[in-house]
Structure 1
Amino acid sequence: MESLRDDTKGQWIALSGLVISLIIISLALLANQAVIAGYYSSNAALELPKEDIRELNLQTRENAKMVMDLSYEINSSSNQSMSTLYTSLFNDCSEQMRYLYAVHGESIDVSLANMTYNTTGASVTGQVWANISFNDGKTDYVSAPEIIDIEVGK
């Protein structure tokens, strides 16, 4: 029995087992933190409403071309000037877009800054400067002015 008290080989085995288990636990914690950090960083990129902003810019460009076509059509049968018609129709489209985005909890403002056009025969070419702003409570986007080239041919 006396020889077992002097034998300390088992203590080194127990101590090395404890050290190895602590190393494994700390490596597991580091791996877990890396996974969580990757999840949160990728989730933050998804919260940016880049598709909504892209859709707003695309819709503004389409509206500018459509309004130019409509104002050219109305101008041929009306006494109003093309710039007056264009401004009125563009503001109406912007108001309707504002209501549609408000349903989703987003605030937009699309305003006409300037418009130039040139009528040659049965076609109209021009440029429209539009101020676009977008706010969804987290992201604030402003594009002032957004220059839109327009070609409407008959």
Structure 2
Amino acid sequence: MGNSKELIVNSIISEIEFLNEFIRRTVDDKQISETIMRGLSKIKDDSYDLAKIPRTANDKSLLSFREFRLNTISRELETVDEVYKLTEKEFDILYPLCQKPNCVVDIGKRSSSTNTHLSNLKKKIPVLRTSLQSRHGQGLYLNVTPNQEM
């Protein structure tokens, strides 16, 4: 588990333990306490995936478009069919484009390394083959439809 996810999970666990103790002391309801403990054990389980937690439109860690969602915490791009883990460089290229969709974004001088990463992104993620476009002499353009939910 990455550091940021680990911090989030530990924070959630602390809050739940605090609430459970508060409820146990103020409400003598064993069923409520057991329900909280079952939820806590599920969070502690290594198979629990934070990416499956529904997010709201106000959640800035998730940039949503009709075509895909970019999770800025896990650095994953989620389509309807698949979740793609992005490399650091792939994320560094894609993130500014997702912040300004349908605008030309100057990503600085494009080296052969950057061009290789762009090519790899398009090969790896089929939806980017048509939506990620180069504008010669200007920068990159991400042709997507902003969306509240995918």
* TM-score, normalised relative to structure 1: 0.29
Which protein has greater RCO, CA pairs closer than 8 Å, 6+ apart?
2
The answer to which structure has the higher helix fraction is 1
The answer to which structure has the higher strand fraction is 1
Specify the structure having the higher radius of gyration (Cα): 1
